[in-house]
Amino acid sequence: MLVIENLRTNYGAIEALKGISLDVQEGEIVTLIGANGAGKSTTLMSISGAVPAQSGRIIFDGEDITKLPAHEIVRRKIAQAPEGRRIFPRMTVEENLMLGAMTADPQNYDRNRDEVFELFPRLKERRSQRGGTLSGGEQQMLAIGRALMSEPRLLILDEPSLGLAPMIVRQIFEIIAKVNKERGLTVFMVEQNANQALKIAHRAHVLVTGEITLSGKGAELRANEEVRAAYLEGH
Amino acid sequence: MEYFLQQLINGLSLGSIYGLIAIGYTMVYGIIGMINFAHGDIYMIGAFLAVIGFTAIGLVGGLWTPLAVALVLIIAMVFTAAYGWVVERFAYRPLRGSFRLAPLISAIGMSILLQNYVQLVQGARVKPISPVVQGGFELMERDDGFTVNLSYMQIIIIVLTLVLMIVFATLIARTALGRSQRACEQDKTMAALVGINVDRTISLTFVIGAALAAVAGVMVTMYYGVVDFYIGFLAGVKAFTAAVLGGIGSLPGAMIGGILIGLIEAFWAAYFSAEYKDVAAFSILVLALIFRPYGILGRPEVEKV
């Protein structure tokens, strides 16, 4: 479904991605793990068109989307809940969801919103509250909900567990696994919390300073000595 | 008392005009964080389009007055909006992502360019038009013969401003366009990620601001009956003062700031000195910047590094 070929991206003068290649198959949860500054967010922002690629190709459903602007990529049904959640702080929960639905068929709005409220009942309680007043966990729920409002075929998540309490993290990972299983939604996820991510992921890639050093099944990587030493110990 | 009432009416009319112009400053600041110094000259273009419009209607034998006013308003809004679009597209958009002062300097250049362009094509002399709307109500009379008047023109200015404000506030609060506009104000990257065309939204902001300035330009032309190529500077700086006073970035703030500047100017001219009315307006700017830089309704800005 998504194929990345030899993607290079510069971030200012720094070469953030040194030619990475990976693919995501329909219906999978694929995770990209790696340390801070390895280039994980850059990879996701390149897919979404918010950071221009230097060279290489990003192909989605057979179409080359490398050069498309961000607002066109959402229309190809790729939605992202970015790092830091980036909720519109001075808009209500419902307005945030409306913005998420910008590119979707307006006729489906009520149904999609009710589905999001079903996944995250907290958002329904807070629907007329401003985004900036939500807790971190609620903001993450809203970020995922907002992405789901665009009726994506590929959901991109950047560090959904960042800064959240372990209980909320478990809850959010359960919901990610649930939408993948029940709706067949494909998920591409970046995580520092590798342990949790590998538990639900079908496949995983390890990114080290702009290069992919390891790829494999989620369970395999969890058993891998190097991965354990670098990313799992202490989690 | 009668004198006070008269100045209140004058101040409200003047303030409505400043408010309409101030909206353009505050919207543009809200979305791209720059002061569009050419905005006053966009308003001046609107005023000139009114002169051209009314003169042309006069030449073909005139029209029923309300129709003529509506026609001139629409023409002025459309053409002025086009100017606003062009200014953003060619003078500011190429500089996006450049250092902060670049678009500001470009705006000052644009302001000078528009002034000189109008001076060149329209001439440097003051352009008069014959009065379009005359007469009004005599509200009361003092014993010494002083009368309080509310002219039809003042009613038109105040009512039209009120209506536009309601339409505009609804647009921003309730429509998809308004939501896109606010989303771009709050986080442009995220706005693009949900599918908003950020460049187009910024263009529309300039177009809307210019259209409102055009209404102010038409009103001023009808109110005072004279226009010259330099009126944009003073009106622009005063409307900018209004936007700062109300809280730059805040839409209701711009309107309140505009009304306040209009009132201060009218009362200062009436009770102290008409020659120094501009000083009053600008003293307010200085005081606002010193004591309440984020204005009446603005949010205290957190300095981003």
ipTM: 0.94
Distance CA A151, CA A101 (A): 8
Secondary structure element (H or E) that encloses residue A126, with its range: none
> Which residues form the domain of A21?
1-77+155-163+185-235
Would you place residue B61 in the very low, low, confident or very high pLDDT band (cuts 50, 70, 90)? confident
**What does the pLDDT read at residue B262?**
95
DSSP letter for each residue of A37-76:
TSSHHHHHHHHHTSS--SEEEEEETTEE-TT--HHHHGGG
Q: Is B176 contained in some domain? A: yes
Nearest-Cα distance to chain B for A29, in Å, is 21
Would you place residue A233 in the very low, low, confident or very high pLDDT band (cuts 50, 70, 90)? low
Q: Is A67 contained in some domain? A: yes
Average pLDDT (B90-118) is 94
Q: Is B210 contained in some domain? A: yes
- Partners of B182 on chain A (C-beta within 8 Å) are 88, 90-91
Q: What is the tens place of the pLDDT at every residue in B249-305?
A: 889 999 999 999 999 999 999 998 888 888 988 898 899 889 888 888 887 655 443
Q: Is A112 contained in some domain? A: no
**What does the pLDDT read at residue A56?**
95
Q: Is A109 contained in some domain? A: no
pLDDT of B76 higher than 60: yes
In Å, what is the CA distance from B233 to each residue of A117, B39, B45, B111?
A: 52, 9, 12, 8
Please give the torsion angle defined by the CA atoms of residues B193, A37, A217 and A141, in that order, rounded to the nearest 10 degrees: -40
Asked whether A112 and A54 are in contact (CB, 8 A), the reply is no
Q: What is the tens place of the pLDDT at every residue in A190-207?
A: 998 888 899 999 999 999
Asked whether B24 and B204 are in contact (CB, 8 A), the reply is no
pLDDT of B197 higher than 50: yes
Distance CA A227, CA A39 (A): 17
Distance CA B77, CA B200 (A): 19
Residue A129 CA from chain centroid, whole number: 25
Residues of B engaging A, defined by a Cβ cutoff of 8 Å: 176, 179-180, 182-183, 186-187, 189-198
The number of C-beta contacts closer than 8 angstroms across A and B is 60
Nearest-Cα distance to chain B for A49, in Å, is 8
Q: Is A107 contained in some domain? A: no
Average pLDDT (A109-130) is 96
CB atoms A71 and B192 under 8 Å = yes
CATH code at A15? 3.40.50.300
Percent of chain A with pLDDT over 70: 99
Asked whether A96 and B180 are in contact (CB, 8 A), the reply is no
Domain count of the fold of chain A: 1
Q: What is the tens place of the pLDDT at every residue in A9-65?
A: 987 778 889 999 999 999 999 999 988 888 899 999 999 999 999 999 999 999 999
pLDDT of B157 higher than 50: yes
> Which residues form the domain of B152?
2-291
Question: A3-17, A93-107, A110-124: lowest mean pLDDT where?
Answer: A3-17
pLDDT of B37 higher than 50: yes
Mean pLDDT, all residues of chain B: 92
Nearest-Cα distance to chain A for B184, in Å, is 9
Q: Is A68 contained in some domain? A: yes
In chain B, alpha helices (H)? 2-32, 39-59, 65-87, 101-122, 152-174, 176-186, 188-193, 198-224, 231-246, 251-271, 277-291
∠ CA A26-A32-A35, rounded to 5°:
175
Q: Is B192 contained in some domain? A: yes
CB atoms A88 and B182 under 8 Å = yes
Would you place residue A234 in the very low, low, confident or very high pLDDT band (cuts 50, 70, 90)? low
Q: Is B130 contained in some domain? A: yes
Distance CA A67, CA B190 (A): 18
CB atoms A102 and B176 under 8 Å = yes
**Nearest one of B225, B65, B220, B211 to B154, comparing CA atoms:** B220
Would you place residue A121 in the very low, low, confident or very high pLDDT band (cuts 50, 70, 90)? very high
pLDDT of B145 higher than 70: yes
A102 at B interface, C-beta within 8 A: yes
**What does the pLDDT read at residue B273?**
85
- Partners of B183 on chain A (C-beta within 8 Å) are 88, 91, 99
CB atoms B180 and A89 under 8 Å = no
CATH code at B60? 1.10.3470
Asked whether B17 and B220 are in contact (CB, 8 A), the reply is yes
Which among B186, B189, B194 has the least Cβ separation from residue A146?
B194
Domain count of the fold of chain B: 1
**Which one of B194, B196, B200, B297 makes the best mutation probe of the A interface by having the most chain A beta carbons within 10 Å?**
B194
Distance CA A177, CA A186 (A): 10
Nearest-Cα distance to chain A for B153, in Å, is 39
